[in-house]
Structure 1
Amino acid sequence: MNKNKFGKQYTDETVIAGYWKDAKGALIPKEVIKDIDMEREIVVADIIEHAKTLNKELALFKAKAFGDISFFVELSADCYGVNIGGKKGNITLFSFDGKYKIQRSMHDCIAPNECVLAAKQLIIDCVNGWTENARPELKAVVNRAFTTDKDGSLKLGRLLELRRLDIKDERWQKAMDALTDSLQVVGSRSYIRVYERIGDSNEYRPITLDIAGV
């Protein structure tokens, strides 16, 4: 990747000497490019290079942190002759003085499969069967639950809203069973969060690793 220190374009592509390639792929003679555009290239190049370095460091930190925690959990279990196995489980580790704590969180990613279409029809049939007795707000909740995003995906949280409704009708219960059967674990996400205690209190503030929170 070429940095723009001497009028070079910041790109990993091969560009003919004396030219810069614009966003449309057109070759622009360097002598007609404005100075401000070249200065902008320097700023962009510098920030991107630092961002990539930090990104790699964060990836290494995450891998090391998860590895260290997993090793420690196994080490701790070994003290009692137990073989835990696997990498799942939420763990909180405290420093000896309690000033710092580290949390490892593991969350399953759940998504509806094709059975959700059957669940949707059962729910619609159930609501339609109530006709005048069906509350307008309930119909709104049902319609909202099955509204897809731009990519055609259903929002899991909206579907779970339906399961929280306390409706005793057997038809509704059957529909909820179908909805439950449609939800399957498709992966998992893992997080590392680190905290520092605030003074002598029992409260902790995060040591943020998110650029937006720094």
Structure 2
Amino acid sequence: MDMRTIPAGYRENARGDLVPEERIKPLDKLRDETVMQVIEKAKTLRQSMVEFKLEAMDKIAAFVDLSAGEYGVPVGGKKGNVTLTSFNGRYQLVRAMGEHRVFDERIQHAKTLIDQCIIRWSEGGDSRVKALVEHAFRVNQQGRIDVNQVLSLRQLDIDDDDWKNAMEAIADAIQITGTSQYLRLYERQPNGKYQQLPLDISSL
């Protein structure tokens, strides 16, 4: 929907038609106003959260650089993950670096090798292993094979050269397409465990 100017005395409906105010039922007007008021506040809150995250990440990065300069040892290590704890031990800031991973076309070669293993191990295939494989290679809502699900197959202790070749093919098929920074805040509870402070509105 484009952001055209709506003439005074009209509202735009879901089809993009301009409807005179007097033809809109009071309940429909109230519903529209309720939704728009909540959405406008949500957009303002979202922008504030974006600014908070950027500011927090900058502060953490500045401290990490300062610490590295003073002691000559990076706090976060190669991946850039770092945990900062308050002096009283009550709060923790966790900066985590996550990689975006996808499979290239070689994953289909790995799947073929795995299928051949299952068929060879028993006539018609081992139903239990076959079920695990089919589950791992399911396509997610984005139309992609879930990397973590497939990598779980590598945890299976199977002493078979063809299976091992397939596991190597899985590793070779992984492509890193980017990274993301995650910020998590924790507060220590009376039992000594740290509990994440939820910033997800649905969990409040």
TM-score for both structures, normalised by structure 1: 0.85
Residue in structure 2 matching 1:120, options 95, 111, 114: 111
Tell me how many residue pairs correspond in the alignment. 203
* C-alpha distance after superposition, 1:76-111 (max 9, x if no partner): 111124578999422111111112111111122221
Aligned to 2:200: 210
The one-letter code matched in structure 1 to 2:173 is S
Aligned to 2:166: 175
The answer to whether 1:195 aligns with 2:183 is: no
Flag structure 2 segments of 5+ consecutive residues without an equivalent.
none
Change (3 A) 1:86 1:98: closer
Aligned to 1:92: 83
Q: Is the 8 A contact 1:70 1:87 kept in 2?
A: no
Q: Is the 8 A contact 2:64 2:76 kept in 1?
A: no
Change (3 A) 1:38 1:117: same
Q: What do you get for the CA RMSD once the two structures are aligned?
A: 2.3
The answer to whether 1:31 aligns with 2:33 is: no
- Which runs of structure 2 are paired with 1:59-208 in the superposition (5 Å)? 59-81=50-72, 88-132=79-123, 134-199=125-190, 201-208=191-198
Q: Is the 8 A contact 1:108 1:187 kept in 2?
A: yes
CA distance in structure 1 between the partners assigned to 2:124 and 2:154 by the alignment: 20
* C-alpha distance after superposition, 1:156-211 (max 9, x if no partner): 23211221111111111111111110012222222111122224x42223222111
- The CA deviation at 1:38 is 1.1
Q: Is the 8 A contact 2:64 2:74 kept in 1?
A: no
Which SS does the other structure have where 1:47 is aligned?
helix
Change (3 A) 1:205 1:185: same
Change (3 A) 1:41 1:170: same
The one-letter code matched in structure 2 to 1:163 is R
CA distance in structure 1 between the partners assigned to 2:67 and 2:134 by the alignment: 50
Report the identity percentage.
41
Change (3 A) 1:86 1:19: farther
Which SS does the other structure have where 1:59 is aligned?
helix
TM-score for both structures, normalised by structure 2: 0.89
Aligned to 1:5: none
* C-alpha distance after superposition, 1:34-92 (max 9, x if no partner): 01111112211211111011111100111111111011001011112457899942211
The one-letter code matched in structure 1 to 2:189 is I
Which SS does the other structure have where 2:95 is aligned?
strand
Which SS does the other structure have where 2:115 is aligned?
helix
